[in-house]
Structure 1
C-alpha cells in the first residue's frame, strides 16, 4: 500500500472535491482518480462514492479514514524523530489559531523560527472547535486557543496569557467618557460582534448574561478587521480582546475603553495532541510556548 495513495485519499476526504484535492496534492485529477482506484482494488472495497463528482466516503471509507490519517502522521513523525537525532528540524509546522489570539501568532512564529531555523510555519485562522478537530485528524501540529471555556480534551497545553477585553467605538458624541466601562455602558450602544460559531462570542454572551444583559448585535462577522471597519463606518461599537488594539493603535477615529468584567475570563494557550511518542514538531512547539510564556509582552 503506497503512502501517496493514502495521502490522496485523506486529502479528498478533507477537500470533498476531486479537483481541489488534486490541486492540494500537486497532481492532476486523473492521477488522483487512478491512485484511488488502485487503492480500492488493493483493498477489495469501494472507498469513495462518486458519479461525475465527489459524493462522499462509503462506510468502508469512513472506517478507513482515521487509520489512514494515523498512518500518515506516524510516518511523518518517524521522519521528524530520525531527523532530530541528526540535527535541526526541517519542514512545515502547521498552526491553527483562533481569531481572538491571532496577535499571539506573531510572537510564537518568531520564537519557533528563531529556535528552529530549518522550519517554516503555516498559520491558519480556525475556530476553537475546528482546531481540536484538526489536531485529532492530524491536519495541524498544534493550535493556539482557549484553555478554560469549553476545555479541549486529550491535549497537552501551555498557557500563554489571560484574555481581557476592550470596548471600541468611533470617537464622537456617542462614545463613553475616558476610562473603564461596564456592561451596562456597553448595552447602550448598537453592537457588532463575532458570530456564535466562535468561542469568543460565546464567552462574551455568557459574560453579558451574567450581567443581566442579552447580546443582540446589529451585525456579525468572522474577523476583527470586519468588525472594526463597521465600527469606523457604520455607527456601531464592538467588544474585542485587548491584544487586538494594535490594529488601531494611533487611529484617530477609535475610542478604546477597558471593559470591567465581574469574573476572570479565559486563558489562551498552545495545545498539541497528547500522544505517545510525541512528534518532535509538537515537542518543539511546546518548548517554544513554555519559553515565551515567561517573557513580558511588549
Structure 2
C-alpha cells in the first residue's frame, strides 16, 4: 500500500471533488483516480461512491479515513523526528487561526521562522471548531484559538494573552461618549459583527446579553477586514478585539474607544494535538508560543 495513494484518498475526502483533490495533490485527475482505484483493488473494498463525479465515501471508506490520516501523520512525524537530529526543521508548518487572533500571527511567524529558517508557514483563517477538527484530522500542525470558552479537548496549550474589546466607528458619525463605553451605549449604534458561527460573536452575544443588550447587527461577515470596510464606508460601527487597534493605528477615519470590562473575557493561546510521541514540529510551535507569551505586544 503506497503512502501516495493514501494521501490522494485523504485529500479527496477533504475536498469532496476529484478535480480539486488532484489540484491539491499536484497531479492530474486520471492519476488520482487510478491510484484510488488501485487502493480499492488492494483492499478488495470500494472506498468512494462515484458516478461521473464524487458522491461520497462508502461505509468502508469512512471507516478507513481516520486510520489513513493517522498513517500519513505518523510518517510525517517520523521524517520530522529524523530531520530534527540535524538541527532546525524544514518543510511547511500549517497554522489555523481564529479571526480574533489574526494580529498574533505576525509574532508567531517571526519566532518560528527565526528559529527554523528552513521552514515555511501556511496560515489558514478558521473558526475555533474548525481548528479543533483540523488538528484531529491531522490537517494542521497547530492552532491559535480560545482556551476558555468551548474549551478544546485532547490538546496541549500555551496561553498567549487575554482578550479585551474596543468599539470602532468612523470619525464624523454620531460622536461617542468620552472615556470608556458601556455595552449598553455600544448597543445604541448600528453594528456590524462576525456571524454567529464564530466563537467571538457568541462571546460578544453573551457579554451584551449579560448587560441587558440584544445583539442585532445590521450586517455580518466572517472577517474583521470586511467589518472595518463596512465601518469606514457604510456608516456602521463594530466591536473587535483590542489587538486589532495596532493594525488601524494612525488611520484618520477610525475612532477607537475601549469598552468597559471588569476583567479580560477569555484567554487566547496556541494548541497542538496531545499525542505521544509529540511531533517535533508541534514541539517547535509550543516553544515559539512560550517565547512570545513572555514578550510585550506592540
Q: TM-score, normalised to structure 2's length?
A: 0.98
The alignment status of 1:143 with 2:149, answered yes or no, reads: no
> What residue ranges of structure 2 are gaps of 5+ in the alignment?
none
Partner of 1:155: 155
- Does the 8 A contact of 1:161 with 1:268 survive in 2? yes
Partner of 1:215: 215
* Cα distance, 1:247 vs structure 2: 2.7
My pick for the range that moved more, 257-266 or 191-200, is 257-266
SS in structure 1 at match of 2:46: coil
> What residue ranges of structure 1 are gaps of 5+ in the alignment?
none
**Quick one: distance in 1 between partners of 2:175 and 2:169?**
6
* Cα distance, 1:178 vs structure 2: 3.3
Partner of 1:99: 99
- Does the 8 A contact of 2:88 with 2:115 survive in 1? no
- Does the 8 A contact of 1:142 with 1:271 survive in 2? yes
- Does the 8 A contact of 1:175 with 1:255 survive in 2? no
- Does the 8 A contact of 2:195 with 2:201 survive in 1? yes
- Does the 8 A contact of 2:182 with 2:260 survive in 1? yes
Partner of 2:47: 47
Partner of 1:27: 27
Partner of 2:250: 250
The alignment status of 1:70 with 2:70, answered yes or no, reads: yes
Partner of 1:180: 180
**Quick one: distance in 1 between partners of 2:103 and 2:283?**
22
**Quick one: distance in 2 between partners of 1:263 and 1:195?**
24
- Does the 8 A contact of 1:98 with 1:126 survive in 2? yes
Structure 1 vs Structure 2 CA RMSD: 0.9
SS in structure 2 at match of 1:30: helix
* Cα distance, 1:87 vs structure 2: 2.4
- Does the 8 A contact of 1:192 with 1:218 survive in 2? yes
SS in structure 2 at match of 1:181: coil
**Quick one: distance in 2 between partners of 1:230 and 1:218?**
10
Partner of 1:119: 119
Partner of 2:238: 238
* Cα distance, 1:254 vs structure 2: 1.1
Instruction: Count how many residue pairs are aligned between Structure 1 and Structure 2.
Output: 298
* Cα distance, 1:207 vs structure 2: 0.3
- Does the 8 A contact of 2:145 with 2:271 survive in 1? yes
My pick for the range that moved more, 129-138 or 178-187, is 178-187
- Does the 8 A contact of 2:173 with 2:235 survive in 1? no
* Structure 1 runs of 4+ with >6 Å offset: none
